[in-house]
Structure 1
Amino acid sequence: MKIPFKAALVIACSIILLVSCSRKKDKFINRNFHAVTAEFNALYNGYNALEAGRSSLIDGYFDNYWDVLPIERMQISEEVMLPGQSKNENFNTAEEKAVKAIQKHSITIDGKEKNPQIDEAYLLLGKSRYFDQRFIPALEAFNYILYKYPASDKINQAKIWREKTNIRLDNDELAIKNLKRLLKQEKLEDQDLADATSMLAQAYLNTKSVDSAITQLEIASNATKSDDERGRYRFIQGQLYNELGKKDSAIYAFDRVIELNRRTPRIYMIGAEIEKIKNFDYENGDKYELLEHITELEENRENRPFLDKIYHQKASYFLHYQSDSLATAYFNKSLRTNSPDKVLRAKNYEILGDMNFDKSVYETAGNYYDSTMTSLVLNSKPYRIIKRKRDNLEDVIYYESIAKVNDSILNLVNLSEDERVAYFETFIEKLKIKAKEEKEKAEAAERNSNSGLVVANNIGNQPVRTGTPTQAAMFYFYNPTTVAYGKNEFTKIWGNRALDDNWRWSNKGTSGAVGNASTNNLIVSASEDELFDPQFYISKIPSEAKEIDSLSKDRNYAYYQLGLIYKEKFKEYELAKSKLQNLLNSNPEERLILPSKYNLYKIYEVLGENSEASIAKADIVSNYPESRYATILTNPDSASDKDKNSPESLYETLYEQYENQEYAEVISKSEAYINTFDGEPIVPKLELLKATATGRLYGLEAYGKAINYIAITYANTPEGKQAQDIETNVLPKLASSDFIQESDNTANNYKVIFKFENPKPEQIASFQKTLDEVLKNIRYYTLKSSVDVYNPNTTFVIVHGLKNEQVAKTFDQLLVKEDKKKIKEPYFAITSANYQIIQIHKNLDAYLSTGNNSK
C-alpha cells in the first residue's frame, strides 16, 4: 500500500517534533528547537512587554532641569508593594515570559545548560525586576548569570546591569570598583561601552567625583548608538562644567547638544540654549544680540511646548537690565503657559514676590509668596524659606488692609453731600458697564449650553456635535465658560478663600480682598432698585460719632503698628516715617502720641535728618519730662532697655508675682502697664498674663472672656494665636462642671483642704508652719502641704499624699493628742480631680452642698 507523499511528510515532521520536544537529550535538534521556541515566543513577547513598560516609565518621568540630570530616566517610587504585586503590569508580563522560557525550555544535562537562550531569559528576568524597582531580586538574577553562565555572550551586559542595580541600592563604591575592573579586563565596544561608562559616571556623581564623571560621560556619548542618550550625556556634561565654574567648557558642551538638532529630543536642545543664556557675560557680551537670539527662540513654532522656559529666561534678561515692567510681563506669560514644571512656577512667583517686596508693595508680595508655596514640596527647605518670608508679611498685610479700608470710609464721611453724590454716581456708572458685560457673558454661556456645544480639543477634522445637549454639556461644571464665569463672580464677591471650614467668616478671606469685601457684600444685599441708587450707598456711610470714632481709632492703631513693623522688621525707614507722621496728623489717642514721636526721633537719626531729630527730642523732653522716653533721651547711659522701668523688666517682676499667687495685684498692675505701653510688643504678653491671673482668681467664665478678647484684638501676634488655640482646643475640654463620683475604685489621690476667709498673710504662714510640724509626726503616710488662692476672699491650705477616701475624711484621727490641740480649723476632703473642677469653675459651695464631708 502506497502512502501519499504529503501524508508521509506530515508523519515525519510529527515524529521529529515529538522527539525534539524532549529536554532530557543533548541533541542538535533538541537544543535548537527549544532555543528557537524560547527566542521567538516567550522572549520575544517578554522583551516587547519590557520595552512597553520602559517607554511608559520614561514618558511618566519629569526631568528637573534646575538640577543635574540623572543618567537614567527612571522615577523611583517610595510606595511599598506587597509580594506578588507590581508597579507596572508590563514588567510583570516580561517577568512571567522570562520565567516561562526558563521553565519550559531549559535543557540542563550533567549540571550544564544546553539551551543558549536561557542566559537571555535570566537577563530579561533581571531587567524586568530592575525596572519594577525590585532591586534585590534583580541582583539575584544577574548574579545567577555570572555564576551559572560564565561563557555567555551576555556576560558583560549582566555585569553592567548588576552594577546598575548596585547603584540603585546605594552601593556606589562597589559599583565603581566592579565597573573599573570590567573596563580594564574586557575590551567593550559600542553600546556595552556606553552603558558601562555612563553607569560609572552616575556612581561618580553619587560620590561627588564630578571630574571623573565628566570623563566617563565623554566616552559614553561617543560610544552610544542612541542620539537620545548622546544628547542627554552631553547636556549633563555641560551642567557639571557649570557646577565646577568652567563656563567656557559648559558652553562648548551645550553647543555640541545644539548641533545634534532634531536627532535628539528637542528638550535637550532648548535646555542647552537656556543654559548658554544663563552663562552669558552681561558685562562684556552683546546684549542686543542675546535679546535677538532669545526672541528667535520665542518665535520658532517648534519651540511652543517650551515657551514657559523661554519666557522665564527672557524675563530674567529684562530683570537683569532693570526693565521691571517687561520682566513682570514675561514672568506672567511664563505662568500663563500652565507649565508642568513646578520649580519653574515657584521661581516665577517668588521673583515676582521679591520684586513687589523690593517696591514695598507687601500685600501683593504676600500673595505671590502664597502662590510660590503651592508649587513647592511641603516642609522642604525652599518651602520653609518662603513661608518665613510670608509670615513676616502677615502683620503688615493685615494692618495695611485695615488702614486702607478705614481711610476710604473716613474719606467718605468727610465728603459733603454733593461730593458724595458725585462719587457714587461715578461708581454706579462703572457698575452699570460691568453689569452689562457680565450679562453678555452669561447670555453667551447660556447659548453655548443650550446649543449642546462640547468644548474640547478638536483634533484633526473631528466634527463638533450639535443638536440635543448631552448630559455633560447641560451640567454647569462641564461647561468651561460658565465655570469661569462662576469663579470670577465668587472671587469678586468673597475674595480669594481657602478651601476650609467656615470659609464665609471675614477672617478667612485673603487680606487683598478686604477692601472690596464690604462693598461687594453691600452690592449683593442690594435690591435691583437700590443697586443703581446713589442714596442707597450714601445711607450706609457711618454717621454716629461712636462708630466713626471706632473706625478712626482702628485706623490710627494700624498706622502705629505699620510704623513699627516697617521700622523694626523691614528697615523701611521712609515708609515707617510716613505712617507715623500720618498717625500724628490724624488726631490720635493720647496713648499713641508719645511712642510715635519717640520712634520718629529714632527714624530721623537713622536717615540722617538731624534737624528733625533735634526737634522731636526737644518735644519729648519738654512735654513729657516724666516719661521713660525722656529719661532715655536725656540720660542714655543710665536708662538701658533692660532697666527697672523697661517693659521687659516690669513684665518679669509681674510674672514673679503671678507665680507667688498674687493674682489681684497682677491683674491691677497689668491693666496699668497695658495703658502705659499701649501699642508696644509687650502689650499682648501682658494681656495674656492678665487673662491667666483672671482665670485663676475668678474661674473659667472670666478666663474665657479674657482669652476671647486677646484672640480677637491681637489676632496676628503669637499671643493672639495662642489664645485662639486655647479657645478652640482647651476651653471646650474644661467646660463641664460636673463633679466626678468619688470612690476607691476610680480615685486614688485625695486632698484635705483647710479653708480661710479673708486671712492675713501671716495667719496663713503661721498655720502652714504648724501643719508641717504636725505632718512629720504622722506614721505610715508621707504628707506635705501647700497654699492655693481660691478667690479674692478665700485661701486654701492643702494636705497632699492621701490615697484613701475614708482616711482623708477622718484626717484628724491620724493626729496624736498633742497635735489635735494644734490643728483645730475645720477641713474637708476632696479628690484631686474634683479639686481641679472647683478651682476651674469656682463652685466650692455646690460641692459642699452635695453632702460631701466637711469638719
Structure 2
Amino acid sequence: MRFRFLHIARFFGLLAITSLFIGCNSKGYQNMNARYNGYFYADQYLNEVNQQIEDSYQYNYDQVLKIYPDIDSSIIKSNKAKLDDAFKKASQVIEWYGTSDWTDDNYLIIGKIRHLRAEFQFAIETLQYINQTSEDDPTRHASLIALMQTYMDAGDKDKAKEVSNYLETEELNDENMANYKVMLAYYYQREQDYEAMATNLKEVAEVITKKDTKSRINFILGQIEQEKGQNTEAYKYYKASLEGTPPYDLTFHAKLNMQQVSQVNGTAEIERVRKFYAQLLKDGKNKEYQGKIYYEMGEFEKKQTHYDLAIGNYLQAVAVEEPSPRQQSLSYLRIGQLYFDIYEKFELSSNYYDSAVSIMPSDIDGYPIHVKRKEVLNNFVTQLKTIQVNDSLLSLAELPAISLDAFLDNYLNQQEKEAKAREKEERQNAVSTGSVISPSSGGGFTSTTSSSDWYYYNDAAVELGTIEFQRRWGNRKLEDNWRRSSKEASSTTETSTEVGITDDATEKPEEAAPADEGRAAKKKELLATIPTTPDAKDQLHLEIQEAYFKLGAVYRFGLEKDTKAATSYKTLVQKYPDTGYKLEALYALYTLYLETDANQAEGYKQQIIDAFPESLIAKTLINPNYLAEKEARNKALQKVYASAYEAYENGEYVKSDQILRGALQSFEDVDFLPTVELLSAILKAKTENLFSYEEALKTFVSKYPEGRLTNYAKDLLIAVNPIKETIVRSDDFEYSEDLKQLHLLAIVYNSEVTKTTDLKAAIENFNKNSFSHLKLSVGQLEFDESKKLGIVFINSFEDKKTVEAYHRAFKKALTNFTIEVDSNFNNFAISRDNFQMLFQTKELEAYLRFHNTFYQ
C-alpha cells in the first residue's frame, strides 16, 4: 500500500509540475506579466516625464496657447535614467512575452520615448511597425496619432497630413477620436489656420477627460473667438476654462481676458473694471503678475480711447519689480504704437520701439513687422537730426566770435546745471519707492544729449518727463509746494510776492563756471564741430540735402504720410534749387500728386521735362511707350551688330565697317550703341590706321568714362604704345613697297587756311554724288601741330587700282570745291602701313616723292 501511495503521489506531483509549466506558457499568464511587470511601470515613467514637461513649460498667454508644450531637452536629459528604465522594461516585455496582447503597447511606449529624445527616424520606424503588425485597432490608431506628431516635430508636415488623411478613413474609438482631433488642431495651429484649429477643438472640448487639458482647450477657443471679435463666445469659453481646478496662471489670465471681452457701457462699468484691476494688484498672489495687470489696464484704457491713461499704465507695467522681458517689450511696443498711430510723434515712438525690440522675443506675433517699423523710425530720427544739427551748426558758424564764445559758455553752464539735477534725481530715486522710466534702459531717465550735440529742443525728453511726472505725482496744479501731500493753509497776513518772468534773451546770464582745463577742453571740442571753411559748410549742406530726400522717402513709404513727404521734397528743392536730388524729388512730387491734384502733378511733370529733357524719366513722361520702343530699337540694332561682327570674324573688315557706319547713322538713344561704337573703333585698326584707331578709342573712353566696355577700351589703348614704338623714326627709313593692302586717300592742309569742316563737307558731298557705291567714310587727325597741319583721309579702298581711279576723279573735282587752299595743300593715295609711317615720321616730302614713283 505504501508503494502504491508513493507511486500515486509521484504521479500527481509530476502532473502538477506539468500543469504549472503549461500554465506559465499560457497567453493569460503572458498577458498578466506583460501588463503588470513591464508595461505598467514603463507607462508610469513616461507619464511622469510628460507631466514634468507640462509643469515646467511657460505658456505665452499673450498669444494663442500652444496645444502641446514644447519638449524641453534639458528635462529629457535630467530624466535619462527614468526613460532608460522605461525603455528597458518595454523592451524586456517584447523579448520575454512576445506573443502577449501587450507587445504592441510596449512598442508604442518605445516609439514615444524615441520621439521625446528627438530620435525621429527611429520613432517613425517604430510607430510604422505597430501600424503594420498590430491586430489591435485602438493601439494601431494611437500609434498613428503619435506618428502625426512625430512627423510634425521632425518638420515633415506633408507626411503628417498623409497620416491624417488615412485616419479619416478609419473608425476610431472615443478616446482615440478625441486625441486625433486635438492632434489635428495642433497640425492646423502650426499652419496658423486658427479657424480649422477651432473647428476640431470644439468637436472634442466636452469629451476631454483630463481637466487641465480641457481647461487649456477652452481657453484657446476663447482666445480664437476673441481674436475674431466674437466677444460673447469668447466669454463663454473663458468661463468654461475656469471649471475644475486649472493652474493659477490660466485662471488669472482667463479672468483678465473675461474683462477684455465684457461689455463696458457707461462710467459705472468703467469704474467697475478699474476696481477689478485694483483688487488684482492688491492680491499678494498676483505680485509676479503686476506687469501683466498694468499692461491689461493699459489695454483697457486704450480701448476706451483714454490714451494718456493707457500710456501711464504701460509705463507702470515696465516699472514693476523684475518685469518679464516679454511683458515689458509689449508695454514698450504699445506706447510706441500710440505715439506712432495716435499722436504721430515719431521721435518718441522711435525711442519706445527701440526699447521694445531690444528685449522682444522673436516669437511674438508680428515680430518682423515691429523690427521693420523700428528700423523705419530710426531712419526717420537719423534724417531729422541730421537736418536739425547741421542747420544749428551752420547758424552758429555765422555768429561773431564774441557771440559764439558767450553762447558756448551759456551752453556749458546749462550742461553743468542739468548734470547736477540728474545727480540729485538719482539720489532721490535711490530712496524712493517709485522709479523713473527710461524707454531705452528701463532705469532712471537721463539725458542722452552729449556735449557735442546741437539738437537742443528735445521734444521726446520733454514729453517723457511730462508723462513720468503725471505717473508719479498725478495731474497736479502748477503752484508752490506742489510736492507736499498736504499743505498748511497760507496765512492771510502773508504778503504775496509775484515771481518776475523775463524773456530768455534779456535774462541776465549766470556767472560762468570757473575756467578750468576740463571746461576749456569741452569748449574746444564744441568749437571743433562748427564749420569754418567753405568745404566744411558745403559738406553740411550736402548732408542736409540727402537727409531731406531720405526723410521724404521715410514719410512716404515707411510712415505712409504723403502730405509730410511732399513737404520734405518741396523744402529740398526750394532751399536747394541745384541739388543733385532735384530730378528724383520732382518725380516723387509728381507721383504723389498724380491721384490727388492733377494740376500740381502736371506742373511737376513740366518742370522735369524742362530741366532734365535727356533723362529717362522725362522721356517716359513725354512718351509712355518710350521704353517699349527703345527695347525694339535695341533688338533691331543687335541684329545689325551680329551681321557686322560675323563679317569682322571672317576678315571682311571693310564690309563690317560699312555695316556699322550705316547703323550708327540710323540708330540713336539705344542702350546697345556703346557696343557698336567700340567695335567700330576697333575696326579702324583694320580699315584705317593705328593713329585713327587710337583716337577712336580715346573718344570712346571720354564718352563712356565707366563700365566693362570702357575698361576693355583702356586695355586696348595701353597696347597701342608698344606698337607705335616699332614704327621707324630714323632718317634712313623707307616707305613700304607692299602695295597690296587697303588704301586711303589723304589730304594734308593748313588748318588755319582751309577749314576742316568745309573740307570734310565737300568730300562727303563728292562721295555721295560720285562714289556712293563704295560707302566711303571720312576721318580727320592733327598731323603736325607745330605747323598747323591737319590730315583728312578717305577710306577704305580695297586695292591700289581703285584708289588711283578715285584720286584722278577727286583731283578734277577739287577745282569745284569752295574751299581756301595754300601751298601746304597736298592729296595723295597711301597704303595703311605707309600712312602709319608718314603719321609717325611726319616726312611728307619723302612720301610725296615715293607717291610720284609708285602711283599714277
TM-score if structure 1 supplies the norm length?
0.51
- Which one of 315, 329, 350 corresponds to residue 366 of structure 1? 350
- Which one of 310, 325, 328 corresponds to residue 327 of structure 1? 310
- Which one of 47, 50, 53 corresponds to residue 46 of structure 2? 50
Aligned to 2:611: 645
For the Cα contact (< 8 Å) 1:247–1:279, is it kept in 2? Answer: yes
Describe the SS at the equivalent of 1:319. helix
C-alpha displacement of 1:817: 5.3
Distance in 2 between residues matched to 1:158 and 1:131, nearest whole Å = 14
Aligned to 1:72: 68
**Pair 641,95 (structure 1): closer, same or farther in 2 beyond 3 Å:** farther
- Which one of 36, 56, 59 corresponds to residue 63 of structure 1? 59
Letter in 2 for 1:428: E
The CA deviation string for residues 222-266 of structure 1, in whole angstroms up to 9 with x for no partner, is: 333422111111112223334555332121111112344xx1122
Describe the SS at the equivalent of 1:133. coil
Aligned to 1:822: 832
Describe the SS at the equivalent of 1:787. helix
- Which one of 224, 229, 239 corresponds to residue 213 of structure 2? 229
Distance in 2 between residues matched to 1:303 and 1:70, nearest whole Å = 23
Aligned to 2:285: 302
The CA deviation string for residues 525-550 of structure 1, in whole angstroms up to 9 with x for no partner, is: xxx98569877766666499962988
For the Cα contact (< 8 Å) 1:786–1:797, is it kept in 2? Answer: no
Distance in 1 between residues matched to 2:224 and 2:218, nearest whole Å = 10
The CA deviation string for residues 318-354 of structure 1, in whole angstroms up to 9 with x for no partner, is: 2334433332232233344565564x55543443333
C-alpha displacement of 1:649: 1.9
- Which one of 102, 121, 124 corresponds to residue 109 of structure 2? 124
The CA deviation string for residues 408-440 of structure 1, in whole angstroms up to 9 with x for no partner, is: 665695758777656644543444565688899
C-alpha displacement of 1:270: 3.1
C-alpha displacement of 1:113: 0.8
For the Cα contact (< 8 Å) 1:221–1:229, is it kept in 2? Answer: no
Distance in 1 between residues matched to 2:694 and 2:362, nearest whole Å = 51
The equivalences for 1:287-436 within 5 A come to 287-336=270-319, 342=326, 346-358=329-341, 359-374=343-358, 382=366, 384-394=368-378, 396-405=380-389, 415=403, 424-432=412-420
The equivalences for 1:500-539 within 5 A come to none
* Alignment RMSD (CA, Å): 6.5
Aligned to 2:24: 28
Describe the SS at the equivalent of 2:697. strand
Aligned to 1:113: 99
Letter in 1 for 2:68: E
Q: Which moves more between the two structures, 271-280 or 224-233? A: 271-280
**In the comparison of the two structures, how many residue pairs are matched?**
573
The CA deviation string for residues 790-837 of structure 1, in whole angstroms up to 9 with x for no partner, is: 98799997898xx9xx99999999x9952594146879xxxxxxxxxx
The CA deviation string for residues 480-501 of structure 1, in whole angstroms up to 9 with x for no partner, is: xxxx9999999887999xxxxx
1:787 correspondence with 2:772: no
C-alpha displacement of 1:555: 7.1
**Pair 530,147 (structure 1): closer, same or farther in 2 beyond 3 Å:** same
Letter in 2 for 1:306: Y
Distance in 1 between residues matched to 2:55 and 2:259, nearest whole Å = 27
**Pair 785,27 (structure 1): closer, same or farther in 2 beyond 3 Å:** farther
Distance in 1 between residues matched to 2:572 and 2:90, nearest whole Å = 86
For the Cα contact (< 8 Å) 1:198–1:217, is it kept in 2? Answer: yes
Letter in 1 for 2:416: I
Describe the SS at the equivalent of 1:643. helix
- Which one of 204, 212, 235 corresponds to residue 251 of structure 1? 235
For the Cα contact (< 8 Å) 2:188–2:196, is it kept in 1? Answer: yes
Letter in 2 for 1:822: R
For the Cα contact (< 8 Å) 1:123–1:142, is it kept in 2? Answer: yes
Describe the SS at the equivalent of 1:71. coil
Aligned to 2:472: none
Describe the SS at the equivalent of 1:27. helix
- Which one of 82, 87, 94 corresponds to residue 83 of structure 2? 94
- Which one of 267, 279, 287 corresponds to residue 261 of structure 2? 279
Distance in 2 between residues matched to 1:431 and 1:118, nearest whole Å = 77
Letter in 1 for 2:249: I
For the Cα contact (< 8 Å) 1:86–1:132, is it kept in 2? Answer: no
Aligned to 2:783: none
Distance in 2 between residues matched to 1:27 and 1:784, nearest whole Å = 110
The CA deviation string for residues 688-730 of structure 1, in whole angstroms up to 9 with x for no partner, is: xxxxxxxxxxxxxxxxxxxxxxxxxxxxxxxxxxxxxxxxxxx
Letter in 2 for 1:270: F
Describe the SS at the equivalent of 1:233. helix
1:199 correspondence with 2:183: yes
Letter in 1 for 2:223: Q
Distance in 1 between residues matched to 2:81 and 2:298, nearest whole Å = 47
Aligned to 1:137: 122
For the Cα contact (< 8 Å) 2:235–2:258, is it kept in 1? Answer: yes
For the Cα contact (< 8 Å) 1:366–1:390, is it kept in 2? Answer: yes
**Pair 641,255 (structure 1): closer, same or farther in 2 beyond 3 Å:** farther
The CA deviation string for residues 523-582 of structure 1, in whole angstroms up to 9 with x for no partner, is: xxxxx9856987776666649996298887777777766666666653475898799999
Distance in 2 between residues matched to 1:810 and 1:69, nearest whole Å = 85
C-alpha displacement of 1:315: 1.5
Letter in 2 for 1:366: S
The CA deviation string for residues 351-398 of structure 1, in whole angstroms up to 9 with x for no partner, is: 333333354543333343334444567799945534543454455423
For the Cα contact (< 8 Å) 1:235–1:253, is it kept in 2? Answer: yes
Letter in 2 for 1:304: K
1:771 correspondence with 2:685: yes
Aligned to 1:6: none
Distance in 1 between residues matched to 2:150 and 2:356, nearest whole Å = 37
C-alpha displacement of 1:306: 3.0
1:241 correspondence with 2:237: no
Residue identity (%)? 16
Distance in 1 between residues matched to 2:254 and 2:196, nearest whole Å = 22
For the Cα contact (< 8 Å) 1:31–1:107, is it kept in 2? Answer: no
Describe the SS at the equivalent of 2:611. coil
Structure 2 unmatched ranges of 5 or more:
1-12, 432-440, 462-512, 556-560, 620-663, 666-676, 729-735, 744-830, 838-856
The CA deviation string for residues 107-160 of structure 1, in whole angstroms up to 9 with x for no partner, is: 46xxx614x654443232122123233444334434544555535985664465
For the Cα contact (< 8 Å) 1:193–1:223, is it kept in 2? Answer: no
**Pair 34,488 (structure 1): closer, same or farther in 2 beyond 3 Å:** farther
Distance in 2 between residues matched to 1:579 and 1:807, nearest whole Å = 55
Distance in 2 between residues matched to 1:198 and 1:495, nearest whole Å = 61
For the Cα contact (< 8 Å) 2:64–2:220, is it kept in 1? Answer: yes
The equivalences for 1:685-834 within 5 A come to 768-773=682-687, 787=697, 818=741, 821-823=831-833
- Which one of 211, 214, 217 corresponds to residue 201 of structure 2? 217
Describe the SS at the equivalent of 2:221. helix
Letter in 1 for 2:254: A
Letter in 1 for 2:296: Q
Letter in 2 for 1:254: Y
C-alpha displacement of 1:72: 2.0
Task: State the structure with more CA Rg.
Answer: 2
Distance in 2 between residues matched to 1:349 and 1:132, nearest whole Å = 38
